[in-house]
Structure 1
Amino acid sequence: MSIDKFGYQQQLRRELRIRDLIAYGLVFMVVIAPFGIFGSVFQASGGMIALAYVVGAAAMILTASSYGVMVAKYPVAGSVYGYAGRAIGPAVGFLTGWAILLDYVCIPLLLSLVAGASMASIVPSVPIWAWLIIFVLANTVMNVFGIKTTKLLNWIFLAAELVVLVIFLVYGLKAIADGKGHGFSLDPFYNGTSFTWSLILGGVSVGMLSYLGFDALGLLAEDAADGARTVRRAMYLSLLVVAALFVAQTWVAALLVPDPAGLIANGDPDGTAFYDAAEVAGGPWLGTLTALATALAWGVANNMVAQVATSRLLMAMSRDKQLPAFLSRVSLSRSVPTNAILATAAISLGIGLWMANRDDGITLMSAMVNFGAMIAFIVLHVCVIWDWAKNGRTGGLGRNVIVPLLGAGILVAVIFHAQLLAQKVGLIWLGLGVIVLIVLLSTGRKPALPEVPADDETPKVVTENV
């Protein structure tokens, strides 16, 4: 479906095929993402970390189904922001875009903070703030060169991450077979003495961070060679692959943790729990390798694609006049929204340098990212049901009603069991969004989107009285 039908011109080149989108999704989710947050998820789930990742995968697969429905109907670069605006109304679209901004704008700086902390532990003479500047500037330069450069680098980073993961799994399984760790056990999936759904959902609320990124494929609908069909298939495939890898690596690592009870009781303040397990498996060199891989995967590979996704969201909201107009300008020679990329980098540097001096900086940014994403996902499920009811209830009841209800239900439960900090920060951010919307309405600048025209009509604009 051409985006001309939605009142937009095709400015981005359709460079990405399904294999490129799958690689993009795997890099964005980071196939070794649990390396960096293993201790936090292990503690939150009471040691049943593999089960937490299974439940998280189920919630994300249901969410991917709703993304597939909406991207087929509205194959434009705004993702949930655009879906909510067209299915329900522009004001709801604005608030949804505001919520997901919390996710996408914070992701690049969170990644830089985590990577900076990892590198500072390896090279203590270089402070976190210096590493943050290095990571942000490096990714900005790579992304400004264009989507072809990003596509090539995605494959290189993905291959490197998979090599490190295979090394860990081989050494980890061999170590367990040789009697190291706690022996082969299904306790990371289910421990009858401590299992409660509240405990598992608490683990999911932390581990959900690992799955964020598959949804960013919706933001590349205008970069995809075959549009919506390619994006939809890539979402499912990348999710299934990464879920299997997450479960495998967390199960093996959980069986190698030196002191599981201590980790559950005291947490992982230094973020080294996974590297400690890797040392048990293969020695100090494997612990250092996994720490270095985490820094590069989060700080360069994931950061690079996160910046791409964030720039597409800023571009989409800008061209609908809901953000400053300069953000929607596209470099035709490189086929990238250069100003949006530079704005994302500036935000990452500004807020990141402030957060680097806070003891709770990474915790606070993680809370903001997770809450923004889950709110946006819940709205996505509501959009599917709303659009189905509004447009004559065409399509199957299962995919348009039952699946969205199940997906939204799981996400609401996860938010309910999330950390209090995440709930507070998220509600404050949404409150600010409501204030901004009220200001827009009171000054006569109602949220508006180009309307889908009939074949013989020119595009109209959807406005909304609130």
Structure 2
Amino acid sequence: MSTVEQFGYRQELQRSLGFADLMIYGLIFMVPIAPFGIFGNVFAVSHGMVALAYLIGLVAMAFTALSYAQMARAFPMAGSVYTYAGRGIGAPVGFIAGWAILLDYLLVPALLYLVASVAMNSFVPAVPVWGWLAAFVVLNTVVNYLGIQMTARITRIMLAAELAVLAIFLVVGGVALAQGKAQTGALTPLFDSAGFSWSVVLAAASVAVLSFLGFDGISTLAEENREDARRLGRSMLAALAVAAVLFVVQTWVAALLTPGRDALIANGDAAGSAFYDTAEFAGGPWLSVLTAVATAVAWGFANSLVAQAATSRLLFAMGRDRMLPSFLGRVHPRHKVPVNATLVVAAISLVLGIFMSTRENGIGELASLVNFGAMFAFLLLHVSVVVHYLIRKRSGNLLAHLVVPVAGFLVLVAVVINQNVAAQWVGGLWLLLGLILLGTTYVMGRRPQLPQEVV
């Protein structure tokens, strides 16, 4: 079994997580009820073919998860795609990969806090959005500060609660369908010849894939995994598979029951209430309230809790290698967590979340940027598999080390091309800034380097 010492590091984080902990962490990061919050957007963009959009998103992420599993075996360290691209291709490429996915990781907690705070403000308007946001940030920071085992215990409880709400919706939805409340044919959520085109479905998949982002966060806990590195990759695949089944089933049922289908497709879901309107149509106001509150708590506490943990591990890894300020690499001596990185993520989430809450379409602006960084980083991940295994190691396993990463690369390119244009521009500017920072280090004579592997 490879260790971090083999790659020139000290084992500072606490190895206490098993396969179940990692899989549950990934599920919570993806949020089993994630489609509740973006259902209307995916429905409108896909022309009602929501289940198909999620299936295509699954294909894109399945190839990526397989590539993650291969690199996790080779380099069982924190840092996710930053580590894999850096070790698999080279330190400068690792920096760009880490910089790209930072756009996703740094924005995701702020987006989650903002969505949840807006939702909670609609139920308890006496507490302003910024008040809810600050409460969520403080609560999650305290839990993460107390250690990864505390985070793991909390995620188990939250997962059970989310699955209970989902089960209630599916049972009530099933009864509604049995009573003849379906608004369309049974297969329409999967394929509708009247609205189908590849550009439509891929554009919808680029939105739906947001629900799958999070399985990759498991890789940031590599140095807290107490089992063989292979278990890390298997936990990613298991979490992705379970989430995919849940996403497809719940969106299929919801798409069959959605009232005002044509208006939703034509006008979109600016208020973000399409799923809750569908829940009310299926079971009454109580189900609408239940699903809305569950979404707020899931996004604002459970999902943002693990998002903060994952982001802090990425900053920790880049700080430890001096790709970012070295103070980010400090580990708390008692709790064994990257304490400075955790506090920095909390501060960024708080400031950015409050600022975006003052903008007319703050949630939409944040959401449009989240996917771009992840997709670009995943492209470099697939390249790192080919370079490390096929070119350097002369691997004969062409399926795992050539076919899968190339297929994953091509699928992601199709998704990125069909992403929001504004997100492409801002994401491109973010990457340009990263290249400028990288170039500056060369000019200053500080060529990016990683600790050498101990043979």
When the two structures are superposed, what TM-score results if normalisation uses the length of structure 2?
0.98
**Match status 1:76 vs 2:105:** no
C-alpha deviation, 1:184, in angstroms: 5.4
Matches within 5 A, 1:223-238: 223-238=224-239
Matches within 5 A, 1:358-369: 358-369=359-370
C-alpha deviation, 1:228, in angstroms: 1.5
How far, CA to CA, are the matches of 2:423 and 2:106 in structure 1? Answer: 16
How far, CA to CA, are the matches of 2:348 and 2:337 in structure 1? Answer: 18
Output one character per residue of 1:211-237: Cα deviation in whole Å (capped at 9) or x when no partner: 000001111110111142121110111
C-alpha deviation, 1:376, in angstroms: 0.7
Tell me the equivalent position of 1:344: 345
Tell me the equivalent position of 2:263: 262
Tell me the equivalent position of 1:247: 248
- With 414-423 and 126-135 compared, the bigger mean Cα shift is at 126-135
8 Å CA contact 1:105, 1:310 repeated in 2:
yes
C-alpha deviation, 1:412, in angstroms: 0.5
Tell me the equivalent position of 2:317: 316
How far, CA to CA, are the matches of 1:388 and 1:156 in structure 2? Answer: 39
8 Å CA contact 1:51, 1:188 repeated in 2:
yes
C-alpha deviation, 1:183, in angstroms: 5.5
8 Å CA contact 1:177, 1:183 repeated in 2:
no
Tell me the equivalent position of 2:29: 28
* SS of the residue 1:222 aligns to: helix
Tell me the equivalent position of 1:460: none
8 Å CA contact 2:390, 2:396 repeated in 1:
no
Output one character per residue of 1:241-269: Cα deviation in whole Å (capped at 9) or x when no partner: 00000000000111111111111100111
Tell me the equivalent position of 1:283: 284
**Match status 1:50 vs 2:20:** no
Output one character per residue of 1:191-220: Cα deviation in whole Å (capped at 9) or x when no partner: 012111111100011111100000011111
8 Å CA contact 1:35, 1:294 repeated in 2:
yes
Output one character per residue of 1:392-424: Cα deviation in whole Å (capped at 9) or x when no partner: 421410110111111111111001011111111
C-alpha deviation, 1:390, in angstroms: 2.8
Tell me the equivalent position of 1:299: 300
| Aligned-partner residue type, residue 50 of structure 1 | A
How far, CA to CA, are the matches of 2:235 and 2:450 in structure 1? Answer: 27
8 Å CA contact 2:67, 2:385 repeated in 1:
yes
8 Å CA contact 1:176, 1:182 repeated in 2:
no
How far, CA to CA, are the matches of 2:44 and 2:192 in structure 1? Answer: 14
| Aligned-partner residue type, residue 393 of structure 1 | R
* SS of the residue 2:451 aligns to: strand
* SS of the residue 1:271 aligns to: coil
How far, CA to CA, are the matches of 1:395 and 1:118 in structure 2? Answer: 52
Output one character per residue of 1:334-375: Cα deviation in whole Å (capped at 9) or x when no partner: 111111100000111111111111122111211221000100
8 Å CA contact 1:315, 1:337 repeated in 2:
yes
**Match status 1:100 vs 2:101:** yes
8 Å CA contact 1:84, 1:93 repeated in 2:
yes
Q: Percent identity?
A: 53
- With 61-70 and 435-444 compared, the bigger mean Cα shift is at 435-444
Matches within 5 A, 1:88-167: 88-167=89-168
| Aligned-partner residue type, residue 359 of structure 2 | R
* SS of the residue 1:258 aligns to: coil
8 Å CA contact 1:55, 1:204 repeated in 2:
yes
**Match status 1:169 vs 2:170:** yes
Moved over 2 A (4+): 124-127
Output one character per residue of 1:56-110: Cα deviation in whole Å (capped at 9) or x when no partner: 0111111011001101001110111011111111111111110011011111111
How far, CA to CA, are the matches of 1:139 and 1:171 in structure 2? Answer: 32
* SS of the residue 2:5 aligns to: helix
Tell me the equivalent position of 1:453: 454
5+ residue gaps, structure 2: none
Tell me the equivalent position of 1:463: none
- With 300-309 and 445-454 compared, the bigger mean Cα shift is at 445-454
Tell me the equivalent position of 2:395: 394
Matches within 5 A, 1:208-227: 208-227=209-228
How far, CA to CA, are the matches of 1:127 and 1:189 in structure 2? Answer: 40
* SS of the residue 2:53 aligns to: helix
5+ residue gaps, structure 1: 455-466
How far, CA to CA, are the matches of 2:280 and 2:86 in structure 1? Answer: 50
C-alpha deviation, 1:332, in angstroms: 2.4
Tell me the equivalent position of 1:461: none
